[in-house]
Amino acid sequence: MLKKPKKVTRPSSFIHDSQNWRINYFSEKLGENLGETHLNINEIRIWTKDVPDDCIRETLQHELLHVVMRDCLVILHDSTSLPQDLEESIIRMCSPRLFALLSQNPKLRSYIYGA
């Protein structure tokens, strides 16, 4: 028998790279995607109406990767040449940043992974 995942509260904020970010949830979809990341105002927007909770969590994780990628793109832009194995380089840049983001924000982590 499968256990039903524990209900966790949706996070409304998180910290990344010493900056405060907001997460806003909307019942009305304003665009084509389920989520948007606004890097200029440190805000993630997620649409929730008629969307399964696991899809909302995955969308939030997707948007968090946009936050992390901003740092990675700055590093790539500032480098003198692109590394040979671009995929591995991007993962090596993203992984510690995503790990730090989720480690520093237990409510966010609990919500995304349903723990």
pLDDT tens for 57-97 read 888 988 898 888 877 777 777 655 555 577 667 777 887 88
Q: Could you report the per-residue pLDDT of 41-59, keeping only the tens digit for each?
A: 999 999 999 888 888 888 8
Predicted pLDDT of residue 47: 94
Residue 53 is encoded by which pair of tokens?
């909770």
Angle at alpha carbon of residue 5, lines to 34 and 37, rounded to 5°: 20
Q: What predicted TM-score, i.e. pTM, was given to this entire model?
A: 0.72
Domain boundaries, the chain: 13-113
CATH code, residues 13-113:
1.10.10
Give the pLDDT confidence of 26-35 residue by residue, as tens digits.
998 777 889 9
